[in-house]
Homo-oligomer: A and B are copies of this chain.
Amino acid sequence: MSESVRTTRVPVVERVLEVNDQLAATTRADLERRGILAVDIIGAPGSGKTALLEATLRALKGRRHPAVLVGDLATRRDGDRLARWCDQVVQISTGQGCHLDAGQIRDALMQVDLSEVDLLLIENVGNLICPVGFDLGQAAKVGVFAVTDGDDKAAKHPYLVQAADVLLLNKIDLLPYVSFDGPLFQADVRLLNPTVPILEVSSTTGAGLDAWLDWLDRKSADGGASTPIA
């Protein structure tokens, strides 16, 4: 089957990406002009993206002015959780869509008062694969892995590791209870991306959160230099 199917598919996917990339470029220009750092947070379902954002928003109170866009197939549970810590949260329901796209981000931003914002945190749909290839207009991509998901996840998801501007290794408070070979994980990452920072964090205990907040501050100070998908 495969050949004929791929021949019909590829041009369409490219056309979609072209439209997507144009919209993302417009968003990127808008956000840069306003001095807003936008980060696209990508991780598996259950890697702890929402808990990480809760801890991040709590720590940023009075220090930054964040807005959050959060994508899920269904439910507004993440949006409700995050709204306790941030006035400007938009839940994006993707239905059967396995990733956010630049059009959804632009639509969602219509509901945000950007004049009040200096940091845009985008929590993508829980998926290590599909979100990687879609530019949303972010300044940086953040990859989230959890120690509970096993030490092989970087090697198995090379495109995310290569595309990421920073990797968070989450749930390190659970290291005593799971089998996770830290040096193997680090070595797998280094083969794919020799320079990406790897920050070990726990949203539960707060361990490592300062390094993550510092990274956000430094990235903002850099003017959020854009990293569109090649």
Contacts and interface: CB of A to CB of B under 8 A. Distances in A.
Nearest to A128: B45
A90 interface: no
Interface string A20-35: 1001000000000000
Interface stretch (A59-67, A156-164, A216-224): A156-164
B128 A126 contact: yes
Interface residues of A, number: 51
A110 interface: no
Contacts of A118: none
Nearest to A155: B75
Given A5-B19, A174-B178, A153 B12 contact: no
Nearest to A22: B1
Contact of A74 (B47, B104, B158): B158
Most chain B beta-carbon contacts within 10 A, residue among A16, A19, A74, A149: A149
A197 interface: no
A108 B65 CA distance: 52
Interface of A: 1-2, 4-5, 8-9, 12, 15-16, 19-20, 23, 44-47, 72-75, 77, 96, 98, 101-104, 106-107, 125-130, 133, 146, 148-150, 152-153, 155-159, 171, 174, 177-178
